[in-house]
Structure 1
Amino acid sequence: MKLLTSLALAFSLALPAGAAFAEASEDSDKPVPETLGFVEWLVMNDTSVRLKARLDTGAKTSSLHAVNVEGFKKGEEEWVKFQLPLGDHEDQPSEGTIEHEDVILEFERPVHRTVLIKRKSAPSQRRYVVKMDFCIAGTVHETQFSLTDRGNFKYPVLLGRRFMRDDNILIDSADSFIAERECEYNTLEEIAAQVD
């Protein structure tokens, strides 16, 4: 019995890395997963703003940099308004005629839910969660984003496990910016013209 187990293990280790997965994929309805780096470019659909996103398997819910977050009622529904200041993360390509600090995007979205975030050595924090469309690696997705001030973080967007699971994404934690396709985005000047 030990010999059979050892042979089966040796055989499975000898297969190319994708071979066992390819067989499993043929039997399932899910498409073959796409592999992305631990950091990729993301473009928000409604504004065409390009942001760096960290893909983090340690987080369940994705989060988006947002300041001046305020809930309000729209009819009977709960909505939230927030701002995304582009000066906090200067990722947007520019032609040099406008400063990043001069462009602040404003959003209003229905509240999908609220979530209580537990933090080390700080009080728990309740955050609004909204659904938003975005493009990554040439494909449009929708996921839930908790809204929080990420101004002190390197990346304005964090994509969590819920996005990876729902959209069949694998992460190469040793590499970044490996997406084979790009998403269209606007320059800082084009975005500023939309805001005015």
Structure 2
Amino acid sequence: MRSKPFALLFCLFLLPGLSLAADKTVYGLNEYAQLADFDQQVAAKLDTGAKTASLSARDIKRFKRDGETWVRFYLAIDDAQSHPFERPLARISKIKRRAGDYNAEEEKTYTARPVIELAVCMGSTLRTIEVNLTDRSAFQYPLLIGSEALKRFNALVDPSLKYAAGKPGCATDANSAE
């Protein structure tokens, strides 16, 4: 009989955590993402171990426009358009190099990558996230969504699921992206 009050107190202790989890959207390890700015749908890998998001791009060049730094690039995706995209440079990200990617002679343990802001839709949620640009054509997924972007999506990732959110279905108004 004495265990019932303890069990009740324990359940009450868990309630705040459950309500926080109820506000989250469950996504799978892989999801379809609509790149609203580029009218392109891609498969994405959700990676809680990565901090930043990465988009597959090639021929990445920085240039000046009206005194600001911009980036011109092509999407490195099989069915992507053949014309370049131009976006303002948000910042430069320093990405840690993996052991196999490290050259002791260079003495650099990181790679500098340009970062842009991009409107992305997963399921019915549209958010503007920061993505760094790098050639991911050797990888299965052209878009990797890291923990900072997952926070913006208020996401819980269940690695046992794939494409849990279904096809993207967001309104195209990027102003609604938080």
Other-structure match for 2:169: 183
1:21 to 17, 22, 28: 17
Asked if the contact 1:85–1:105 (Cα under 8 Å) also holds between the matched residues in 2, the reply is no
Asked if the contact 1:37–1:179 (Cα under 8 Å) also holds between the matched residues in 2, the reply is yes
Asked if the contact 2:34–2:168 (Cα under 8 Å) also holds between the matched residues in 1, the reply is no
The aligned amino acid for 1:158 is L
The aligned amino acid for 2:95 is I
**3-state secondary structure, aligned to 2:151:** helix
Other-structure match for 1:108: 86
RMSD across aligned positions (CA): 2.8
Other-structure match for 2:119: 133
Asked if the contact 2:127–2:152 (Cα under 8 Å) also holds between the matched residues in 1, the reply is no
1:72 partnered with 2:63: yes
Rate the CA distance shift 1:105–1:162 in 2: closer, same or farther, 3 A. Answer: farther
Asked if the contact 1:33–1:168 (Cα under 8 Å) also holds between the matched residues in 2, the reply is yes
Other-structure match for 1:120: 98
Where does structure 1 lack aligned partners over 5 or more consecutive residues? 26-30, 88-99, 185-196
Q: Counterparts of 1:35 and 1:85 in 2: how far apart (Å)?
A: 28
Rate the CA distance shift 1:154–1:84 in 2: closer, same or farther, 3 A. Answer: same
Rate the CA distance shift 1:179–1:36 in 2: closer, same or farther, 3 A. Answer: same
Rate the CA distance shift 1:105–1:173 in 2: closer, same or farther, 3 A. Answer: farther
Within a 5 Å distance, the mapping from 1:154-193 to structure 2 comes to: 154-179=140-165, 182-183=168-169
Other-structure match for 1:61: 52
Q: Counterparts of 2:72 and 2:34 in 1: how far apart (Å)?
A: 20
Q: Counterparts of 1:155 and 1:147 in 2: how far apart (Å)?
A: 14
Q: Counterparts of 1:173 and 1:10 in 2: how far apart (Å)?
A: 31
| Cα offset, 1:11, TM superposition | 4.1
Q: Counterparts of 2:82 and 2:153 in 1: how far apart (Å)?
A: 30
Give the stretch that moved more between structures: 111-120 or 152-161.
111-120
| Cα offset, 1:175, TM superposition | 0.9
**3-state secondary structure, aligned to 1:86:** coil
TM-score by length of 1: 0.71
Where does structure 2 lack aligned partners over 5 or more consecutive residues? 103-109, 171-178
Q: Deviations over 1:89-112 (max 9, x none)?
A: xxxxxxxxxxx48x4252111111
Aligned length: 159
* Percentage of identical aligned residues: 32
**3-state secondary structure, aligned to 2:137:** coil
Q: Deviations over 1:150-169 (max 9, x none)?
A: 00001000011111112311
Other-structure match for 1:194: none
Give the stretch that moved more between structures: 160-169 or 141-150.
160-169
TM-score by length of 2: 0.78
Asked if the contact 1:42–1:50 (Cα under 8 Å) also holds between the matched residues in 2, the reply is yes
Rate the CA distance shift 1:105–1:22 in 2: closer, same or farther, 3 A. Answer: farther
Q: Counterparts of 1:10 and 1:155 in 2: how far apart (Å)?
A: 45
Asked if the contact 2:71–2:114 (Cα under 8 Å) also holds between the matched residues in 1, the reply is yes
